[in-house]
Structure 1
Amino acid sequence: MINPFSLNGKNILVTGASSGIGKQIALSAAQMGAAIHITGRDEARLNGTLEALTGAGHSSKIADLTIEEHLDQLVANSPKLDGLVLSSGIVKTLPFKFVTNTELDTIMQANFYAPVMLLNKLVRNKKLNKNSSVVFISSIGGNFIGTKGNSMYSAAKGAINAMQKVIALELVAQKIRVNNVSPGMVKTELIGKATAFTDEQFMADEKNYPLGYGEPADVANAVIYLLSDASKWVTGISLLLDGGFTLQ
């Protein structure tokens, strides 16, 4: 039986793969048959991800994507890709009245400029194969909701969502698809940094999600769909993953 969700024979680069959602995407995509190439800033944790990957043909590269030299080295050392998952990013909760140019620039560099410019350099260097798929990891905070203290993060994700649509149109001639997934709250180590919640507040907040908070595997499964040939007629979308949160 033909499995349209299979990633057999595909080379896929996953950024931010040392932990959380990025790590799970790398693990799940490897289980679907892909050769996974991972990058992140933490060498020990990245090596842990690499060692956990099933299958063969995997590789890792330490890189800080906010440093152009690291971007250039990553692109130069990258094989021709059939998939790209842009999962790296940072979160900082800060009320708007305390936002400064420096704070905003830090968030935008990590969450907007870095993934966009990595994609730009891969396209310029013809590293994306025909019929390849690009997936940005965005957030419901980018298009769908606002959360107090997250204006900088929402701005960065909103910028990703807006630029992605134009990139999708410009790359369609090369049959390169460009989409994003926009998750709500997902149970990762980053969740504590995204809010100032106590354990009791987390429990109360999760009740706002009809299906509860998501798991990293829930996001990974959606990304696999967008990387696979099952979504060959899909480009320019934001795939909402929120357990029913925005229905209310």
Structure 2
Amino acid sequence: MNYNPFSLSGKTILITGASSGIGKATAIECAKAGASLIITGRDTPRLQQTLESLPGENHKAVIADLTSDTGIQLLTDSIEKTDGVVLCAGVNDKALIKNINREVLQKVMDINLYSPVLLIRSLLKHKKLQKYASVVMLSSISAYYPAISNGMYAASKGAINSFSKILALEILPLKGRVNCIQPAFVETDMLKKYTLQEEIEKIRSEYPLGRFAQPEEIAYAAIYFLSDASQWVTGNLFIMDGGFTLR
């Protein structure tokens, strides 16, 4: 008997932000675990690259801008039913608080907070979540570990943490579950674009495990929360930081 409680075989999983970074890695690893995937993003060529990287069959890509009601409706309409959702789309515009403006703050909140909240609302309203569905939200240790110039991002992730707890209560009639993954630095394109690379290297040297996370390692945690292995886990804020907040 080939028993694997972490298998996603027979499950349909929706992954946002799947065109790059953690979202792309999560899509690939979930497909390896046997899931059928619906992946979404705004960058058509990069999302197509992710789709072509997925092992197995029965996957589809949906180009949708989730910062608009039209995009959310388009994605919702493309889904019959889903057993799991991984909300990976995110952006970080670092700025000192004295330099924050309404336009940039709106952009950060649109992508990091409003989009996942309104997408989940749409999926619930249109009964797209299967019984026992699992929702995984990508948060960050930034929600409670302060860093200068990271106010907008930290605020958006703190809100996601709070929202996830309420969502966990409200989908109990479905026997559904909601959990947040809170990574520290992950080796993604977003990190590589950070202007002060010397600062990044200094931070890397301070991690007790001696390195940043790989996107695949975050994906493995998502697989756990999506799988039947975590059927008794909900409302969790799961830290993945290489020991960074131990200090």
Q: Pick the TM interval, shorter chain.
A: over 0.9
Residue correspondence of structure 1 range 70-85 to structure 2 within 5 A: 70-85=71-86
SS of equivalent to 1:190: helix
| Aligned match of 1:179 | 179
Q: 1:201 aligns with which of 185, 195, 199?
A: 199
Encode CA deviations 1:139-193: one digit per residue, 9 max, x unaligned.
Answer: 1001x30111110000000000001101101111211101110000000001134
| Aligned match of 2:162 | 162
Counting matched residue pairs gives 245
| Aligned match of 2:235 | 236
The TM-score normalised by the length of structure 1 is 0.97
| Distance in structure 1 (CA, Å) of the matches to 2:156 and 2:202 | 27
Question: Which range moved further: 35-44 or 100-109?
Answer: 100-109
Encode CA deviations 1:124-145: one digit per residue, 9 max, x unaligned.
Answer: 1000000110000111001x30
| Distance in structure 2 (CA, Å) of the matches to 1:197 and 1:225 | 34
Per-residue deviation at 1:91? Answer: 1.1
| Distance in structure 2 (CA, Å) of the matches to 1:247 and 1:192 | 25
| Aligned match of 1:37 | 38
SS of equivalent to 1:82: strand
| Distance in structure 2 (CA, Å) of the matches to 1:47 and 1:196 | 28
Per-residue deviation at 1:90? Answer: 1.1
SS of equivalent to 1:22: helix
| Distance in structure 2 (CA, Å) of the matches to 1:73 and 1:213 | 36
| Distance in structure 1 (CA, Å) of the matches to 2:201 and 2:103 | 33
Per-residue deviation at 1:104? Answer: 1.1
| Aligned match of 1:115 | 116
The TM-score normalised by the length of structure 2 is 0.97
| Distance in structure 2 (CA, Å) of the matches to 1:125 and 1:181 | 26
Residue correspondence of structure 1 range 1-248 to structure 2 within 5 A: 1-142=2-143, 144-193=144-193, 195-198=194-197, 200-211=198-209, 212-248=211-247
| Distance in structure 1 (CA, Å) of the matches to 2:203 and 2:92 | 19
Q: One-letter code of the match for 1:8? A: S
- Percent identity over paired residues: 45
Q: One-letter code of the match for 1:163? A: F
Per-residue deviation at 1:79? Answer: 2.2
